[in-house]
Amino acid sequence: MSAPENESPKPLPPGQTRYIDIAKIKIPPDARKHPDERIAAMAEDLKKNDLINEITVVPDGDGFELVSGQRRLLGAALAGWQQIRCSVREGLSKLDKLRLMFNENEDRDGATPFYQASLVEEMLAQTGGSQKEVAIVLGIDEANISRYRVIARIPDDLKEKLARANFSYAQVRELIPLENPDQFHAMAEKAIAQGLSSRAIAAQVANIQKHASAGKKAQKKGNRGKSRDPYADVWAAMANAGQWKVAYKGNNQWAFYVTAGSKENAKAELTQWFAQMTQGMGGAPSPSSPAATGAPATLRVEGLPSPSPQASSQGGGSIMLPPRAAVPVPVIKEADFIAGNKLRLTWEPLGPGFRYRLFRSWGTPENPSFEPVCKSEVTTPGAVINVYAGAVSSTLIAVMAIDPQGHESELSKPVHYKLKSWNNADTVEPLPS
């Protein structure tokens, strides 16, 4: 990890070396905890090799407070020492102490990235959330501060598993590109079970992202420029009208693909198919809402002549469809956080009989990929949402309306939803009407 370009951490004042009674040194209550076996190993090492690196303390009343070197201090006490060599630092701010603790852990084998992440979070609290300032203080690049922030939000049970498996910062770092919490958790469990190195984790994560990217591109390509077909239910009811397919192009345009049995009979078969379609469309439902407006839509079949609107369907290439009103799109009015990951969302009501479904996106705002927030629907123009969150800090939330006939609207303009804690399940609760 390198320091930000053209920025160097400010040197700390030098310490004064002296021997201090171990009984006079207090360990902060929030200090990192060490297993008993590691304390015992340190005690044996001190008996054989003496103390190589002094511990760091600051004056505290009549005694001293430990800044770094807890395992050496506890090991010395277990070994029966009465005093220990210390570097006494004066005039250190809280930020300076955190910096010393972070840097010492970085220089030692077996440093847990989760304790380091907790120190970064404390430093951010001291600097008003400035990642750049913390990066300069620690002499590392800002991207690593961002990674430590993600590591700090990993749920405690998964942190404990990764810590027990002695996962290093390099290993945990390679999991971070997996923004989908399910994928993140599954890959972490796999890495623990198989003892994967950081390089092996990076390769598997890259493979997961490759497949996810291909799926998103295919979905985006398939959906580009399209809207929901307002006559989809009509086509489904006419499934026996011949060998044909239909694709809605949006903007009141459809493309039909008809397969004839032979080249010689193509014209006759197309004419017959057209007549069957005309007859089938005679039962197309009229708009049920007084808000329905717009001119009738026109179906065209390539290869057939296009007559005037008054021409008979038996001899021409057009069918006039009765207009159907598009389902209105909900308009979000307010989005307020009420606790943890909970978001209170309200939108303009669309009338009796309407239902609403909530969607979220784990994609970027520029390339969203929406999926339903559980399977719940609400009938009130508002809901309290609690989204499953993991190694991501935000998502997008949008609303879909479903009219009394079951027709779906386009998604509303989404709102940005900043996740504040890890949650294990999606919930959607209707607001009182």
Domain that holds residue 196: 170-226
Same domain, 368 and 303: no
CATH of the domain at 127: 3.90.1530.10
Mean pLDDT (whole number) for 196-212: 83
162 lies in a domain? no
pLDDT of residue 312: 34
- Show which of 321, 347, 363 is a domain's final residue: 321
- In this prediction, residue 68 has a pLDDT band, given cuts at 50, 70 and 90, of confident
- Show which of 226, 250, 272 is a domain's final residue: 226
The yes-or-no verdict on residue 430 having pLDDT over 60 is yes
Q: Using CA atoms, how far apart are residues 245 and 410, in angstroms rounded to an integer?
A: 23
If one compares 64 and 341, the residue with the highest pLDDT of the two is 64
pLDDT of residue 214: 55
Let me know if 145 is exposed, middle or buried by CB neighbors in 10 A (0-12, 13-18, 19+).
buried
Same domain, 239 and 211: no
Share of the chain above pLDDT 70, in %: 70
Same domain, 290 and 396: no
306 lies in a domain? yes
418 lies in a domain? yes
Q: Using CA atoms, how far apart are residues 420 and 429, in angstroms rounded to an integer?
A: 19
Same domain, 378 and 315: no
Same domain, 376 and 255: no
Q: Which of 400, 395, 403, 382 is nearest to 423 (CA)?
A: 395
- Show which of 152, 179, 214 is a domain's final residue: 152
User: Taking the model in full, what pTM does it have?
Assistant: 0.45
Same domain, 33 and 137: yes
Share of the chain above pLDDT 90, in %: 10
164 lies in a domain? no
Helical spans, DSSP H, in 224-325: 232-237, 266-281
Q: Using CA atoms, how far apart are residues 274 and 304, in angstroms rounded to an integer?
A: 10
107 lies in a domain? yes
Same domain, 148 and 206: no
Regarding beta strands 332-339 and 342-347, do their DSSP bridges make them parallel or antiparallel, or are they unpaired? antiparallel
- In this prediction, residue 366 has a pLDDT band, given cuts at 50, 70 and 90, of low
112 lies in a domain? yes
Same domain, 174 and 75: no
Maximum mean pLDDT: which of 2-6, 253-257, 379-383 = 379-383
If one compares 251 and 24, the residue with the highest pLDDT of the two is 24
pLDDT of residue 237: 59
Same domain, 338 and 284: no
Same domain, 251 and 286: yes
Alpha carbon distances (Å) from 399 to 89, 335, 353, 375, 419: 57, 12, 16, 13, 18
Same domain, 251 and 290: yes
> pLDDT for 303-347, tens place per residue?
434 433 333 333 334 444 444 457 888 998 888 777 666 778 888
Question: Is the torsion defined by CA of 39, 45, 46, 47 positive or negative?
Answer: positive
Q: Using CA atoms, how far apart are residues 178 and 182, in angstroms rounded to an integer?
A: 9
357 lies in a domain? yes
Work out how many domains the chain is built from and give that number: 4
157 lies in a domain? no
Same domain, 39 and 137: yes
CATH of the domain at 411: 2.60.40.10
